[in-house]
């Protein structure tokens, strides 16, 4: 997993770019028409070249299309259009041709109605609102809403994934220790709380190591892959697409207005404490059951807030300073995900600090409660555990 | 010379919600003895052992270890072999034994040296780099035994130490337990195998229904259970009760008699000897098993 994950992640970045570039190859399409009504107006596009042929030629080519230089034949007769090809025609090619023909007909109709095409063309407008951020000192920096959405979304989802992944790892570890009965040997040497925290902290360190390794390996692998794959793919005419995919360029582009370092440290903080809080709960669940199959009923209530946070990422992005966003980023159960989503849009420092303090508090409280359940649960075998039972365990004296 | 007391449990109460696991339990374990903790399933033995190991705390009562109130400094002085015991299956035997020994506060080198000694003693040196999952249950039990005694604790607590062992290995373990006692270690032993209690325990406590119902040196308990009872074999079968003794039962020429209060064994022998030829005369005592079953029924 440690090695495989960065390869998968890198391929997620590389493969689409690679494939998109592969697909950009030029297509030659033959146009046969009894007249020149359309064929005279049809224009080559970025990757489609048209060649007008006669109907006789068309007949000939049609018999052996595979060996001809043409990708397809566009046959126009009495305002009906047919594309002949030796294989399934790509959707983008069909759409591209369809759009052109539609436009030609549109223009024709406008002309017939006596409207000057130039007027219509001149009336087409395109503007681009530049967004800038003014900070407290009045300094202006570029803002980038798309980048904010991207970073917020990715970091939010990563936290969600990591908490789930490592939380489950803790739970499995606890169940393993309980089912192979080593737990009683160990807790005659260390306190149950120490054993539980040891497990949680151990897995946290595994998580952080893996995470850092993933980042490094993903960057290394995807940079190398880009160098080799893209260069080999001979697509010098599509420099725009390549540049966009280059990681370094991407990062430089995104830094406008977003403090990446702050986000990185917040990410580590919210991941760590979010994980610590949830994994204490996962450990409690693990201690209460005899086998992983019995965890369902207890895991669901723990994960509901986390899943809720995940679902609410979209509404929070729509209004990152709204009431919903505020309260979700204060509640320790949802703040690790939601705060990461809000951060790239800019969050007041007091909100951030308050959210962090609440998360630490949440961690302390859940760990305290989880430890009580854990302490009793790990020594309880062969009993079907209900919520009522768990509640009783919370009240037992140390 | 009266031996000192290593551990005394006084008026310990432990409740789990409405359920009382221990109700004013008292035991005192003399130094360098093997102390048998007996009782039917669910009597509270495991809870008591967990309390002594500080795995759980009592709701009420005190535990004195070596003259001090039991505290976390004593953890290294106590070794515990729980009934429900296991090991990490994927780990290697040696690594795991080292880890568990270090948890008890031993240094790496000390642990390694002691483990080597024990592995050689039990002839299991070649298991060192095997994974635990490759071992049989009995083999794993041996490892658990070793890691329990490795740090030379003053007090050892064994919960069903013989379960899972074949007779040969059970004998080896029994020998080791006796040797530990002879070297000064105090041992608390819980088992359902009454014959092993009889063989190796010096003291016993019987716990039933969360309470101690019997406690003391095994000979004294036997005596209290059937006071002044003897078994006499004669060459005839016409012995009759007298003011000195009472015949409880007889089978052919063998009689069970109870000497009445105030008379000595010697006097009784003399009286019987006058009219009969005594082939044998010995103390008749019930087995621990009989005492166990009867005491629990009487409760």
Q: Given a cut of 80, is residue A178 above it in pLDDT?
A: yes
pLDDT, residue A230, reads 57
Segments of chain B with pLDDT less than 70: 1-3
Put simply, the answer to whether A395 touches B17 (Cβ < 8 Å) is yes
Distance from CA of B279 to the nearest CA of A (A): 54
Host H or E run for residue A49: strand A48-53
* Predicted confidence (pLDDT) per residue in B35-92, tens digit: 999 888 888 888 899 899 888 888 899 999 988 898 888 888 899 998 878 888 888 9
User: Buried b vs exposed e over A169-204: b needs ≥16 C-beta within 10 Å?
Assistant: bbbebbbbbbbbbbbbbbbbbebbbebbbebbeebb
Mean pLDDT of A90-100: 84
Superfamily of domain B5-223: P-loop containing nucleotide triphosphate hydrolases (3.40.50.300)
What is the spatial distance between Cα A384 and Cα A378, in angstroms, rounded to a whole number?
13
Put simply, the answer to whether A398 touches B57 (Cβ < 8 Å) is yes
Could you tell me where the DSSP H helices lie in A226-348? Answer: 231-232, 239-245, 247-254, 260-288, 296-311, 313-318, 323-330, 335-342
In the three-class reduction of DSSP (H, G, I as helix; E, B as strand; rest coil), residue A371 is classed as: helix
User: Which is nearest to A178 in space by CA: A289, A281, A280, A278?
Assistant: A289
What is the spatial distance between Cα B151 and Cα A345, in angstroms, rounded to a whole number?
59
Distance from CA of B93 to the nearest CA of A (A): 13
pLDDT, residue A337, reads 92
Q: Report yes or no: A64 at the B interface, CB cutoff 8 Å.
A: no
Identify the closest residue of chain B to A376 by CA–CA distance. B56
Q: Given a cut of 90, is residue A231 above it in pLDDT?
A: no
Which residue in the set B75, B78, B144 is minimally distant from A185, CB to CB?
B144
pLDDT, residue A253, reads 55
Mean pLDDT of A13-26: 67
Put simply, the answer to whether A180 touches B89 (Cβ < 8 Å) is yes
Highest-confidence range of A263-272, A355-364, B279-288, by mean pLDDT?
A: A355-364
Put simply, the answer to whether A182 touches B57 (Cβ < 8 Å) is no
Q: A247 falls in which pLDDT band (50, 70, 90)?
A: low
In the three-class reduction of DSSP (H, G, I as helix; E, B as strand; rest coil), residue B19 is classed as: strand
- Choose between B242 and A339: higher pLDDT: A339
Put simply, the answer to whether A184 touches B100 (Cβ < 8 Å) is no
β strands within chain B, DSSP E: 5-16, 19-30, 34-38, 60-65, 68-69, 78-81, 155-159, 186-190, 203-208, 211-217, 229-234, 245-251, 254-259, 278-283
Strand partners of residue B234: B278
pLDDT, residue A11, reads 76
pLDDT, residue A246, reads 53
The pair of structure tokens assigned to A49 is 């070249």
pLDDT, residue B1, reads 31
Interface A–B counts its CB contacts (< 8 A) at 60
Q: Report yes or no: A398 at the B interface, CB cutoff 8 Å.
A: yes
* Predicted confidence (pLDDT) per residue in A101-115, tens digit: 888 888 888 888 888
**Mutation target among A172, A186, A189 for the B interface, most CBs of B within 10 A:** A189
- Chain B residue numbers with beta carbons less than 8 Å from the beta carbon of A190 are 103
Is there a contact between B34 and B200 (Cβ–Cβ < 8 Å)? yes
In the three-class reduction of DSSP (H, G, I as helix; E, B as strand; rest coil), residue B44 is classed as: coil
The alpha carbon torsion through B86, B90, B93, B94 (nearest 10 deg) reads -130
Q: Given a cut of 60, is residue A176 above it in pLDDT?
A: yes
- Chain B residue numbers with beta carbons less than 8 Å from the beta carbon of A392 are 16-17
Percent of chain A's residues with pLDDT above 70: 86
Identify the closest residue of chain B to A372 by CA–CA distance. B56
Q: Given a cut of 60, is residue A237 above it in pLDDT?
A: no
Identify the closest residue of chain B to A380 by CA–CA distance. B84
Give Cα separations from A285 to A142, A288, A394, B89, B155 (angstroms): 47, 5, 13, 22, 34
In the three-class reduction of DSSP (H, G, I as helix; E, B as strand; rest coil), residue B41 is classed as: coil
Asked whether the CA dihedral A187, A193, A198, A204 is positive or negative, the reply is positive
pLDDT, residue A229, reads 62
B131 secondary structure, DSSP code: B
- Chain B residue numbers with beta carbons less than 8 Å from the beta carbon of A185 are 80-82, 85-87, 100, 144, 147-148
Distance from CA of B214 to the nearest CA of A (A): 27
Cα angle B33, B35, B36; round to 5? 150
What is the spatial distance between Cα A143 and Cα A61, in angstroms, rounded to a whole number?
55
What is the spatial distance between Cα A388 and Cα A395, in angstroms, rounded to a whole number?
11
Is there a contact between A192 and A398 (Cβ–Cβ < 8 Å)? no
Which residue in the set B55, B57, B89 is minimally distant from A188, CB to CB?
B55
The pair of structure tokens assigned to A242 is 């390549």
Q: Report yes or no: A385 at the B interface, CB cutoff 8 Å.
A: no
Q: A235 falls in which pLDDT band (50, 70, 90)?
A: very low
What is the spatial distance between Cα A294 and Cα A135, in angstroms, rounded to a whole number?
53
Residue B125: CA count within 13 A, CB half-sphere = 8
Residue whose entry in the numeric block shows the structure tokens 């004013």? B24
Q: A239 falls in which pLDDT band (50, 70, 90)?
A: very low
What is the spatial distance between Cα B218 and Cα B288, in angstroms, rounded to a whole number?
8
Cβ burial of A217 (10 Å; 0-12, 13-18, 19+) is middle
Tell me the whole-structure pTM to 2 decimals. 0.71
Mean pLDDT of A59-88: 83
Q: Given a cut of 80, is residue A132 above it in pLDDT?
A: no
- Region for A60 from its dihedrals, namely left if φ exceeds 0, alpha if ψ lies in -120 to 50, beta otherwise: alpha
pLDDT, residue A23, reads 56
Give Cα separations from B126 to B119, B129, B130, B131, B172 (angstroms): 9, 7, 8, 12, 18
Q: Given a cut of 60, is residue A254 above it in pLDDT?
A: no
Round the average pLDDT of chain A to a whole number and report it.
81
Q: How far is CA B65 from the centre of its chain?
A: 18
Q: Report yes or no: A395 at the B interface, CB cutoff 8 Å.
A: yes
The pair of structure tokens assigned to B114 is 């002691």
Q: A255 falls in which pLDDT band (50, 70, 90)?
A: low
- Region for A87 from its dihedrals, namely left if φ exceeds 0, alpha if ψ lies in -120 to 50, beta otherwise: beta
pLDDT, residue A236, reads 47
Q: Report yes or no: A180 at the B interface, CB cutoff 8 Å.
A: yes
**Mutation target among B86, B105, B157 for the A interface, most CBs of A within 10 A:** B86
Q: Report yes or no: A186 at the B interface, CB cutoff 8 Å.
A: yes
pLDDT, residue A257, reads 58
Q: Given a cut of 60, is residue A251 above it in pLDDT?
A: no
Q: A243 falls in which pLDDT band (50, 70, 90)?
A: very low
What is the spatial distance between Cα A2 and Cα A207, in angstroms, rounded to a whole number?
10
- Chain A residue numbers with beta carbons less than 8 Å from the beta carbon of B53 are 188
Q: Given a cut of 50, is residue A84 above it in pLDDT?
A: yes
Q: Given a cut of 90, is residue A95 above it in pLDDT?
A: no
Identify the closest residue of chain A to B49 by CA–CA distance. A188
Could you tell me where the DSSP H helices lie in B208-264? Answer: 218-225
Which residue in the set A188, A381, A396 is minimally distant from B16, CB to CB?
A396
Q: Please, which contacts does A190-198 make with residues 24 or more away whose CB atoms are closer than 8 Å? A: A190/B103, A192/A371, A192/A374, A192/A375, A192/A378, A192/B55, A193/A371, A193/A374, A193/A375, A196/A280, A196/A283, A196/A287, A196/A370, A196/A371, A196/A374, A197/A367
- Choose between A122 and A271: higher pLDDT: A271
């Amino acid at each position: 997993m440690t090695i495989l994950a960065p390869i998968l992640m890198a391929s997620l970045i590389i493969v689409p770019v690679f494939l998109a570039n592969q697909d950009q190859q030029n297509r030659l399409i033959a146009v046969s028409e009894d007249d020149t009504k359309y064929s005279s107006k049809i224009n080559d596009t970025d990757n489609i070249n048209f060649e007008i042929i006669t109907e006789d030629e068309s007949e000939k080519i049609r018999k052996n299309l595979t060996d001809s230089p043409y990708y397809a034949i566009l046959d126009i007769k009495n305002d009906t259009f047919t594309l002949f090809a030796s294989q399934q025609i790509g959707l983008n090619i069909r759409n591209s041709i369809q759009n052109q023909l539609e436009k030609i007909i549109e223009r024709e109709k406008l002309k017939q109605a006596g409207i000057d095409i130039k007027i219509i063309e001149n009336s087409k407008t395109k503007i681009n609102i530049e967004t800038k951020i003014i900070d407290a000192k009045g300094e202006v920096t570029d803002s980038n809403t798309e980048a904010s959405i991207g970073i917020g979304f990715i970091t939010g989802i990563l936290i969600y994934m990591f908490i789930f992944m490592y939380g489950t790892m803790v739970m499995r570890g606890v169940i393993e220790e309980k089912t192979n009965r080593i737990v009683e040997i160990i807790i005659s040497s260390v306190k149950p709380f120490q054993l539980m925290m040891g497990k949680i902290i151990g897995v946290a360190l595994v998580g952080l190591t893996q995470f850092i390794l993933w980042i490094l390996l993903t960057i290394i692998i995807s940079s190398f892959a880009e160098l080799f794959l893209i260069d080999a793919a001979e697509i010098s005419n599509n420099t725009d697409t390549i540049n966009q995919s280059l990681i370094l360029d991407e990062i430089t582009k995104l830094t406008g207005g977003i403090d990446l370092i702050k986000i990185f440290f917040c990410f580590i903080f919210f991941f760590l404490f979010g994980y610590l809080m949830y994994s204490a709960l996962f450990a409690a669940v693990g201690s209460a059951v005899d086998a992983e199959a019995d965890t369902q009923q207890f895991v669901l209530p723990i994960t509901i807030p986390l899943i809720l946070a995940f679902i609410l990422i979209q509404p929070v992005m729509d209004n990152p300073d709204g009431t919903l966003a505020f309260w979700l980023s204060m509640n320790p159960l949802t703040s690790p995900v939601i705060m990461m989503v809000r951060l790239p849009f800019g969050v007041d420092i007091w909100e951030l600090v308050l959210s962090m303090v609440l998360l630490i508090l949440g961690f302390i409280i859940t760990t305290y409660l989880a430890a009580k359940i854990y302490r009793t649960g790990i020594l309880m075998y062969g009993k079907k555990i209900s919520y009522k039972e768990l509640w009783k365990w919370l009240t037992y004296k140390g | 010379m009266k031996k000192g007391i290593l551990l005394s449990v006084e008026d310990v109460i432990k409740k789990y919600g409405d359920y009382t696991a221990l109700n004013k339990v008292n035991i005192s374990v003399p130094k360098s003895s093997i102390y048998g903790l007996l009782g039917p399933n669910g009597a509270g033995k495991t809870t008591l052992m967990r309390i002594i190991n500080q795995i759980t705390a009592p709701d009420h009562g005190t535990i004195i270890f070596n003259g001090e109130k039991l505290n976390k400094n004593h953890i290294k002085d106590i070794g515990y072999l729980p009934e429900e015991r296991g090991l990490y299956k994927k780990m290697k035997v040696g690594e795991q034994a080292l880890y568990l020994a270090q948890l008890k506060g031993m240094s790496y080198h000390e642990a390694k040296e002691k483990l080597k000694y024990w592995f050689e003693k039990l002839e299991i040196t070649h298991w060192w780099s095997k994974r635990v999952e490759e071992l049989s249950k009995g083999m794993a039990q041996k490892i658990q035994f070793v890691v329990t005694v490795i740090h030379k604790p003053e007090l050892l607590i064994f919960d069903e130490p013989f379960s899972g062992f074949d007779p040969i290995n059970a004998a080896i373990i029994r020998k080791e337990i006796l040797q530990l006692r002879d070297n000064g270690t105090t041992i608390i032993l819980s088992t359902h195998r009454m014959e092993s209690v009889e063989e190796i325990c010096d003291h016993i406590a019987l716990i039933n229904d969360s309470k101690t119902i019997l406690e003391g040196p095994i000979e004294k308990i036997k005596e209290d259970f059937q006071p002044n009872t003897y078994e006499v074999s004669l060459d005839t079968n016409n012995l009759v009760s007298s003011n000195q003794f009472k015949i409880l039962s007889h089978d052919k020429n063998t009689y069970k008699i109870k000497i009445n209060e105030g008379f000595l064994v010697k006097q009784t022998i003399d009286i019987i000897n006058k009219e009969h030829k005594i082939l044998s005369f010995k103390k008749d005592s019930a087995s621990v098993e009989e005492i166990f079953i009867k005491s629990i029924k009487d409760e």
